A and B are shown apart, each in its own frame.
Chain A
Amino acid sequence: GESVGLHLPTLSVQEGDNSIINCAYSNSASDYFIWYKQESGKGPQFIIDIRSNMDKRQGQRVTVLLNKTVKHLSLQIAATQPGDSAVYFCAETTGNAGNMLTFGGGTRLMVKP
């Protein structure tokens, strides 16, 4: 079936470095993508989203890149801080699926001081 998955289960970076978390999706009809951050003991929290009519969107210290040709999504975090340590999930949906999101398996980001 259709799936959304993450390339790496754990990413360890030095404080101050940039982080890149990747996600592959298989449903070419997907048109809306979201990145969530889940800190320990909390539910997933919305970070940034992007629609399929865009290939890049920037937020505060975060950038999401979408490559529809290879069905790849990435989250870039600039100047990674200890507070960025969390599990990051990508999620996707299509207009036909209504509100249904499909989540990836998650990548744990560990920031070393």
Chain B
Amino acid sequence: ETGVTQTPRHLVMGMTNKKSLKCEQHLGHNAMYWYKQSAKKPLELMFVYNFKEQTENNSVPSRFSPECPNSSHLFLHLHTLQPEDSALYLCASSQDSTYGYTFGSGTRLTVV
């Protein structure tokens, strides 16, 4: 365990479903991130939260909706996704740029 826990580990959903991904960090960090990892592509930053405030939305479609109720929890709400949204979704946290990010194990999402 890295201190960043993601659930569920695997998720299969239909294009009309609504689901949520959860991330929890036990490291006392003040920043949390959502990344998308597709095959043969670099990690794509989706959202950044600093002290619970969203500071970055990297041109992500509105069918992805983040929520950060406190500095330890981060959600990614999903609705009406497309098959091309199938990917590994990674959550990360950091205190500042001095130490880099700690990643969770990811949620493997398949949209059918």
A-B contacts, CB under 8 A, total: 57
The interface size bin for chain B is: 20 to 34
List A contacts of B101 (CB < 8 A).
44, 46, 99, 101
Q: Is the CB of A43 within 8 A of B97?
A: no
Query: Which residues from 34 to 73 on chain A have a C-beta closer than 8 Å to any C-beta of chain B?
Result: 34, 36, 41-46, 49
Q: Is the CB of A98 within 8 A of B42?
A: no
Mark contacts of B69-112 with chain A using CB atoms, 8 A cut-off: 1 yes-contact digit, 0 otherwise. 00000000000000000000010101011111111111000000
Residues of A within 8 A of B (CB): 32, 34, 36, 41-46, 49, 89, 91, 93, 95, 97-101, 103-106
The answer to whether the Cβ of B27 comes within 8 Å of any Cβ in the partner chain is no
Please name 21 pairs of A and B residues whose Cβ atoms are closer than 8 Å in the assembled complex, sorted by A. A34-B100, A42-B105, A43-B90, A43-B103, A43-B104, A45-B2, A45-B103, A46-B101, A49-B99, A91-B100, A98-B50, A98-B97, A99-B31, A99-B50, A99-B94, A99-B97, A100-B48, A100-B97, A101-B100, A103-B42, A105-B42
